Structure 1
């Protein structure tokens, strides 16, 4: 696939984010031309990287593929009503503007991979989490689910474009993302179990995210929605045990659910609730994950970070 992408033009929105940064570095290393969209003004001396702040710049360009990752970080800032609207609009509005520009300039990329999250599936109000979700599972009436529903609907509304939706789990990798925050209390030997510790931890290595995007570029399937998550089935306490073993630490203090809710309000759902999700569609189409278990993924990331 990469040989087919050499000298192709790929537009990446949300290019300055964690996944976008990793994806662009990978593309540039393999001689792919990148048009990187960011709301912040950026420049690059790399011959194959062009930063844009406005989709009007697409009028002079040819696009072969698009990866739509735009959206403010869900974990930064308390979920006030104003914050919720910003989170929704940063995704829905940018997606809307992207497709409007593609239509206006008559651009027909071979494939558009548009982001979403497994938060689409919501939580079970009675059990605090959902089991065995796949791409056919229904959403719930909570904020994360409603945000993802709106985000996906905007992308899939444009039926003239070949759009694939990727619902991401928690993405682990070097150089950023949420993992450093998750590892810090373990590194200092402090916090272990959070709440019951039985809440699902559905994750994916950033390297597998990159390969999944490339896989979807060439997919001939009529399927439109894909869970991009490792085929693993662990909970929060299992994550702590694996990370503590690799880090050679012994975290001992539990953090009660009530404390998390006092600190984070509704946003505590990100830590206390969750979904067990399987990448059913990807596996059915023959995608091979490089990191199928948490221990191999964390060991690679932690060891690479300390070298």
Structure 2
């Protein structure tokens, strides 16, 4: 009988300790939850929003994500041949836990089109499409062709792969955007032209929103004799968000760096001496969100070239 009473007392003591421990643990959990909610309300404990997008085009880091298995599912859902996708010219990035974004490049071989009222074979035709897809099954959430980036392989102006930036950018505290750029260039040793065009895209109500479209972040214009004589003007930009907002989105701050370089080879027969000249100029631009996009006036004025 005494052994039974003693055993019961020990069990009651252990149960009481366990209960106190559970109460303590529950209190700690509630405290941590309350602390997290308070920090969120006060804006504490949050990772600060990165305002700098890039200092200059050379420092941009590209996304290295490309889920080929998911891309195969996307091709099947789009009912296109996987072989028609230009893998080396296709980019992607995860938009959130459920969604992936692709810039998809496809090719249509030996396409024909009308030119000068005669049907003429123009060669391979490349198309660029933007896609938001489900990360699990590759089903398409939103899609859109970019007509400005369609081209034939024998045209004077060619477009590079669209390079997606490694990190998403945030237009405000809650709205992520995908940033990417595409280069257009002339296939000529005489005409020196290339341009990198920058775009910001979001997904809203299952629709693609181009909030900034083809802003020139690098622009090169000039001419050359194909050797050591040339004159070329270059624009390079930096891009960041301001602390100020307009219509809910941070204002964009653009730093513009213009440079002009002229080089002339010596020509003793014609009395031309070797020459080299470099000039620079800096400007600043602010672009505000008008409720639909970051509208900007394209400025093609040369600062040095005549």
Do they superpose with TM above 0.5?
A: no
Indicate the TM-score class for this superposition, using the shorter chain for normalisation: under 0.3
Higher relative contact order (CA 8 A, sep 6+): 1
- TM-score when normalising by structure 2: 0.27
- More strand, by proportion: 2
Which entry has the higher C-alpha Rg, 1 or 2?
2
